[in-house]
Structure 1
Amino acid sequence: MTSDGLVLAGEHPEATRAQWRELVAGVLRKTGDVPDDVPVESLLTTRTYDGIDIAPLYTAEDADGATAGMPGLPPHTRGARPDGHIATGWDVRQRHADPGTTPATLLADLEHGVSSLWLVAGESGIPIGRLGDVLADVYLDLAPVTLDAGPEFADAAAELLRVHADKGVPAAETRGSLGADPIGHQARTGTAPDLRAAAALAADAAGFPNLRVITVDGLPFHDAGGSDAQELGAAIAAGVAYLRALTGAGLSAERAAQQLEFRFAATADQFLTIAKLRAARRLWARVAEVSGFTAAQRQHAVTATAMLSKRDPWVNMLRATLGCFGAGVGGADAVTVLPFDAAIGLPDAFSRRIARNTQAVLLDESRLAGVIDPAGGSWYVEKLTDDLARAAWAWFTEIERAGGVVAALDSGLVAERLAETWERRRDNLAHRRDALTGISEFPNLGEKPVERPAAPPAPTGGLPVVRYGQDFEALRDRADRALAESGARPTVFLATLGPVAAHTARATFAANLFQAGGFQTPDAGAADAATAAERFAASGAAIACLCASDRTYAADAADAIAALRAAGAAKVLLAGKPSDAYAVDGFVHVGCDALGVLRQTHDDLGVPA
């Protein structure tokens, strides 16, 4: 009881885990059998791609032993700085890779909330010789630049430093990063990394105390379909490889660490993003401890390209918002929100504005940076951070036993493990256990395609680059080509039996599933078996899917199947759990291989691949 009489749960007896279990078990018994010898938590627990169990309930007991520390102090789990981002917010960083980028484009960003620039230079972006022209109107002492030039990092660095010199920017005020990342380039292309050149660049930049030289990029491992721990472990291994190269070139361990900036993917799973960034700082703090330096990890979080969709790209705004939220709460020093059309081609002015305004809303309107480590003390987040750090450390040490990240990439160890994770993820996507809004769930066949100029080709030859929606989008493309060539979209007729209230649930499910493959799905309305068959024949479709309640199936399914076959149906499917009671050609149901059903239906209809 407080002095003003306000009570916070003081009038209620303390709840126990045993009481919670009994109440939850009572609810679960209403929906199915609950074995007495099975803990109810296990029935509601999910598992990440790293084998980490996500429980439905967490208490202080679950987080007992998790290493959090204090903000600004090792192990830096709670943040690299004691004040978090309260004073200035995080660095809002915008990416530019358009060879035709103009000074006006950069100024539009900088005048509307962006605080630093990420310039892709060289063959995959802005020509190195144009950097001076592109940055002509930028005050480089106020707006730091981070380069991303692949194998041309030395030439791009020399040009950027020349631009700084021409503008009279003192060495002590030169900030940003030269972005050398030969290991990341190896991951993307399979070419041998030139660590000596990166170390030499770091040595040459000794006169620029606030300039970073190396980017430790975890994105290639995430873009290949890897898990969060795999991305973390590989990035930490790359960071250690750079430490060895830089100290071998004469830099102290602490000075070498100050040359590094780590880049991680931020996904729509906000809690895993938060935990990943917190775990990354803890992992690097352990490396620092055994290496004899105390510099905290500097982090640049980027909304993940793997989660971006080409279809219904507007949903990417929501995914990016969640990723940005997770990155901000997780304590990233810099955040880049990729524009919603980044998977389609070169972003336009509108999509870049939405990207930067996403961060502006979270910073200025939601005041997300107004609290130090806002997730700290959450038993779920602390436990997840600890579990993720341990899983990532196990992967990191395995890479080290294999000779380090360069050797592990050369031998195929990294590619093999990432491929295993991608296949598991791909299977979950195919069965829609991992849902993709607008792609595998709730597709919009009537959407107007978003068109953008093609982006410069990214380097290839190393780890694959995947997007979670690519398989479903390939089927949508297949259906659209058929529409363009024949004037008709591939069709699956929904033979809806009985009143609307009886068949609407399964009809909605079936329509949602088949439209994810680009099929149009006319239905019979409230019909009996004969009427449904008649309307099927009039539709011109070749495949029908029965949709009704279990009671209606028991009474009318046999007659409906026979009537549909007599009306010319090449295949008859049924929306519901598989059963020997119905002589159909297949079933569609929750948990079925949706991608397999859609591919087979395309093949059955003769839709060109």
Structure 2
Amino acid sequence: MTVLPDDGFFLAAEFPDATRQQWQRLVEGVLSKAGTVAEGPAAEEALSTTLLDGPTIRPLYTADDSAPAAGHPGFPPFVRGGRPEGTAVSGWDVRQHHADPDPRRANEAVLADLENGVTSLWLTTGEAGLPVDALPAALDGVYLDLAPVVLDPGADFEAAAHQLLALHDERGLPPGAALGNLGADPLGTLARTGNTTDPAEPLAAAAALAARCLRERPGIRALTVDALPYHEAGGSAAQELGASLATGVAYLRALTAAGLTIDQACAQLEFRYAATADQFLTIAKLRAARRLWARVAEVSGATTAAAAQRQHAVTSSVMMTRRDPWVNMLRTTIACLGAGVGGADAVTVLPFDEALGLPDAFARRIARNTSSILLEESHLARVVDPAGGSWYVERLTDELAHEAWGVFQWIERLGGQAAALREGHLAKALADVWEAYSDRTAKRRYPITGVSEFPNLNEKPLERRPAPEPLSGGLPRVRRDEAYERLRARSDAHLAATGARPRVFLAALGPAAAHTGRATFAANLFQAGGIEPVHEPASVDAESAAAAFAASGATIACLCSSDALYAEQAEAVAVALKEAGAERVFLAGKPRGEQQKAYVQAGVDEFVFAGGNAVAVLSSVLDRMGVA
């Protein structure tokens, strides 16, 4: 008969606790097998990753990795959430975005969303979306006392606000019944358009709208602090947070100068942040944002009740790809999870075809159902701050908050957000970060599934109705896939002009066990540039390799095998391939010293390997092939 211990299961109770030093010694052994010599803390440091905005992600976190107390949900510093109950009562607000300029189609999409799980609407109006005077038609049949409407009106925010408020009056809504946000964001518009006029006038107009909301529609906020322009210009999480703080402070100054109290001014703001497929960074960013804004509100004299930040998280457009767009469903699911766990009050999941034009009904359904599954089936919102107490998340939140506070102070020293934008300082800082990010993407250190990794050259492109051109003239809008997209576009044009894609012959030497790894690497690499790999059965000698190359229709070749087989066969095969007409011969791997010299003398022109600049290699190959 088995007797269980009275206090439960304690399988490891009689074993001594493992120490960090023991773990580091194990890491040392693993690193030594890879040729890296590091001892103690240096071994741990070798596995660490430094983010572009400063924080370092370490491979191990313990109770020794302290962070300031996060407090309790609903209480300062609001790290754990702006409300005591978090999203546990009703989940987050599922907010769907609409920018279709056709009011009839927009209305059909809006009603379909509201009937199937969406709880609020985010409408882009003006030149980048729905005409302002078409708002009543687009909202026909929408119960405005049940479905909050959030506007994204750009510079024409006064006209859009008056149209929406007039619609509330026309339908006879009581003063406190309507909810939403009028979306006035003069500094966000400045970031988007680069308009160098003095922002004092639009700030005064936004403050007047806020005063009107307080008098007539207390359930509606007037201003949005949109941090998406900084994320979409390639900025880091810390830059996104710092810019949002500087913008929020500028709005507090304008609102209080117009006669609002600091509590009333805080209540008029909603902050919008990007949620990415880096779930932990998204969680930490939203938690840090609340902590930072609570500090701003505190030193501004706001009461505790007014210091909680209202957050709207939007899945990142930067991470969305045009090739293999179906993978975007996975990216947005992870981003939505991060936003929900991070405590966002409202979450918008962009449809997977967002980068291709106006989304179709299927894409919108998947987008809204992403939140529905996480809320209703995964029960993600039933726990308040589920990441709270994680040593990793708490430390990352603290480090990110300090980095962002430094960005905020830098912007304030420049004269504030408007000055930082108008004088180009912020644009330069964002561009520097994006350049570093692009370098890592080009070297495939930041892989893009379906684009830089495992691309599908036979994929049939999706076609969507063109979306209105977004606001432009200011900060750029970037996408992770843009360098590879340019390469693939060249391949597509070549296919259309000649009936075939550019090709590379993979000379796989030896048995499958010897060549499969590097052949797979090379195939992925060349396909990322739209170059079709031709992989014949393993070539056993130089003569058969040359014959297979001649029959492949390719003009370049790449040797793929193990280092041992390279030493035996690579030189002879390279010579044979050149004699068979190969204009350029690559070798998958990174030989060194005399061995590399021998391969070059035999005809190997270039070596491709993990960590190399894939974009530069592929662009050069297409140039040599004459692919315009």
Which TM bucket (shorter chain)?
Answer: over 0.9
2:39 pairs with 13, 31, 36, which one?
A: 36
Alignment-derived partner of residue 217 in structure 1:
226
Aligned equivalents of 1:483 and 1:97: distance in 2? 34
Alignment-derived partner of residue 64 in structure 2:
61
- Superposition pairs for residues 49-198 of structure 1, below 5 Å? 49-62=52-65, 64-100=66-102, 101-191=105-195, 192=197, 193=199, 194-198=202-206
Asked if the contact 2:28–2:38 (Cα under 8 Å) also holds between the matched residues in 1, the reply is: no
Deviation at 1:439, TM superposition (A): 0.5
Asked if the contact 1:497–1:529 (Cα under 8 Å) also holds between the matched residues in 2, the reply is: no
Which amino acid in the other structure matches residue 505 of structure 1?
G
Please state whether the residue corresponding to 1:133 is helix, strand or coil. Answer: helix
Deviation at 1:365, TM superposition (A): 0.2
Aligned equivalents of 1:424 and 1:448: distance in 2? 32
Alignment-derived partner of residue 226 in structure 1:
235
Q: 1:396 to 1:11 in 2, by over 3 A?
A: same
Deviation at 1:37, TM superposition (A): 6.5
Which amino acid in the other structure matches residue 18 of structure 2?
A
Which amino acid in the other structure matches residue 550 of structure 1?
D
Question: C-alpha offsets along residues 415-436 of structure 1, whole Å, 9 cap, x if unaligned?
Answer: 0100000000000000000000
Please state whether the residue corresponding to 1:42 is helix, strand or coil. Answer: helix
Please state whether the residue corresponding to 1:171 is helix, strand or coil. Answer: coil
Deviation at 1:146, TM superposition (A): 0.1
217-226 or 14-23, which moves further after superposition? 14-23
Deviation at 1:339, TM superposition (A): 0.1
Q: 1:435 to 1:364 in 2, by over 3 A?
A: same
535-544 or 396-405, which moves further after superposition? 535-544
Asked if the contact 1:173–1:210 (Cα under 8 Å) also holds between the matched residues in 2, the reply is: yes
Deviation at 1:67, TM superposition (A): 3.6
Question: C-alpha offsets along residues 350-387 of structure 1, whole Å, 9 cap, x if unaligned?
Answer: 00000000000000000000001000000000000000
Aligned equivalents of 2:40 and 2:524: distance in 1? 38
Question: C-alpha offsets along residues 420-475 of structure 1, whole Å, 9 cap, x if unaligned?
Answer: 00000000000000000000000011111011011000011100000000110111
Aligned equivalents of 1:181 and 1:508: distance in 2? 49
Aligned equivalents of 1:54 and 1:7: distance in 2? 31
Which amino acid in the other structure matches residue 566 of structure 2?
Y
Aligned equivalents of 1:459 and 1:346: distance in 2? 16
Aligned equivalents of 2:243 and 2:69: distance in 1? 22
Q: 1:24 to 1:148 in 2, by over 3 A?
A: same
Asked if the contact 2:25–2:39 (Cα under 8 Å) also holds between the matched residues in 1, the reply is: no
Aligned equivalents of 2:85 and 2:613: distance in 1? 49
Aligned equivalents of 1:112 and 1:595: distance in 2? 43
Is 1:285–2:294 an aligned residue pair?
A: yes
Which amino acid in the other structure matches residue 534 of structure 1?
A
15-24 or 130-139, which moves further after superposition? 15-24
Aligned equivalents of 2:372 and 2:613: distance in 1? 41
Please state whether the residue corresponding to 2:479 is helix, strand or coil. Answer: coil
Alignment-derived partner of residue 571 in structure 1:
584
Aligned-residue CA RMSD (Å): 1.2
- Superposition pairs for residues 433-582 of structure 1, below 5 Å? 433-527=445-539, 528-578=541-591, 579-582=596-599
Asked if the contact 2:38–2:46 (Cα under 8 Å) also holds between the matched residues in 1, the reply is: no
Which amino acid in the other structure matches residue 117 of structure 1?
L
Aligned equivalents of 1:593 and 1:220: distance in 2? 28
Aligned equivalents of 1:507 and 1:482: distance in 2? 24
Aligned equivalents of 1:232 and 1:119: distance in 2? 24
Aligned equivalents of 2:606 and 2:31: distance in 1? 30
Please state whether the residue corresponding to 1:244 is helix, strand or coil. Answer: helix
Aligned equivalents of 1:536 and 1:102: distance in 2? 55
Which amino acid in the other structure matches residue 44 of structure 1?
L
Please state whether the residue corresponding to 2:271 is helix, strand or coil. Answer: strand
Which amino acid in the other structure matches residue 580 of structure 1?
K
Aligned equivalents of 1:556 and 1:104: distance in 2? 65
Q: 1:450 to 1:511 in 2, by over 3 A?
A: same
Question: C-alpha offsets along residues 509-564 of structure 1, whole Å, 9 cap, x if unaligned?
Answer: 00000000001100232112211111111122111111111111111111111101
Asked if the contact 1:140–1:174 (Cα under 8 Å) also holds between the matched residues in 2, the reply is: yes
75-84 or 27-36, which moves further after superposition? 27-36
Please state whether the residue corresponding to 2:121 is helix, strand or coil. Answer: strand
Aligned equivalents of 1:128 and 1:37: distance in 2? 63
Aligned equivalents of 1:204 and 1:154: distance in 2? 12
438-447 or 496-505, which moves further after superposition? 496-505
Deviation at 1:66, TM superposition (A): 2.1
Deviation at 1:499, TM superposition (A): 1.7
Aligned equivalents of 1:67 and 1:417: distance in 2? 31
Q: 1:453 to 1:605 in 2, by over 3 A?
A: same
Aligned equivalents of 1:37 and 1:350: distance in 2? 53
Deviation at 1:8, TM superposition (A): 6.2
Deviation at 1:105, TM superposition (A): 1.5
TM-score by length of 2: 0.95
Alignment-derived partner of residue 333 in structure 1:
345
Aligned equivalents of 1:270 and 1:2: distance in 2? 39
Aligned equivalents of 1:281 and 1:37: distance in 2? 37
Q: 1:266 to 1:2 in 2, by over 3 A?
A: farther
Is 1:305–2:308 an aligned residue pair?
A: no
Deviation at 1:134, TM superposition (A): 1.1
Aligned equivalents of 2:543 and 2:192: distance in 1? 59
Aligned equivalents of 1:286 and 1:159: distance in 2? 36
Alignment-derived partner of residue 386 in structure 2:
374
Aligned equivalents of 2:212 and 2:514: distance in 1? 74
Please state whether the residue corresponding to 1:347 is helix, strand or coil. Answer: coil
Asked if the contact 1:128–1:159 (Cα under 8 Å) also holds between the matched residues in 2, the reply is: yes
Gaps of at least 5 residues in structure 1 are none
Asked if the contact 1:219–1:231 (Cα under 8 Å) also holds between the matched residues in 2, the reply is: yes
Asked if the contact 2:179–2:219 (Cα under 8 Å) also holds between the matched residues in 1, the reply is: yes
Deviation at 1:12, TM superposition (A): 2.9
Gaps of at least 5 residues in structure 2 are none
Which amino acid in the other structure matches residue 103 of structure 1?
N
Question: C-alpha offsets along residues 139-180 of structure 1, whole Å, 9 cap, x if unaligned?
Answer: 010000000110111000011011111111111111100000
Deviation at 1:234, TM superposition (A): 0.3
Deviation at 1:498, TM superposition (A): 1.4
Aligned equivalents of 1:25 and 1:148: distance in 2? 53
Aligned equivalents of 2:463 and 2:180: distance in 1? 33
Deviation at 1:497, TM superposition (A): 1.4
Which amino acid in the other structure matches residue 611 of structure 2?
G
Please state whether the residue corresponding to 1:152 is helix, strand or coil. Answer: helix
342-351 or 529-538, which moves further after superposition? 529-538
Aligned equivalents of 2:570 and 2:13: distance in 1? 58
Aligned equivalents of 1:222 and 1:2: distance in 2? 54
Alignment-derived partner of residue 391 in structure 1:
403
Question: C-alpha offsets along residues 307-362 of structure 1, whole Å, 9 cap, x if unaligned?
Answer: 00000000000000010000000000000000000011000000000000000000
Deviation at 1:38, TM superposition (A): 5.6
Aligned equivalents of 1:217 and 1:102: distance in 2? 23
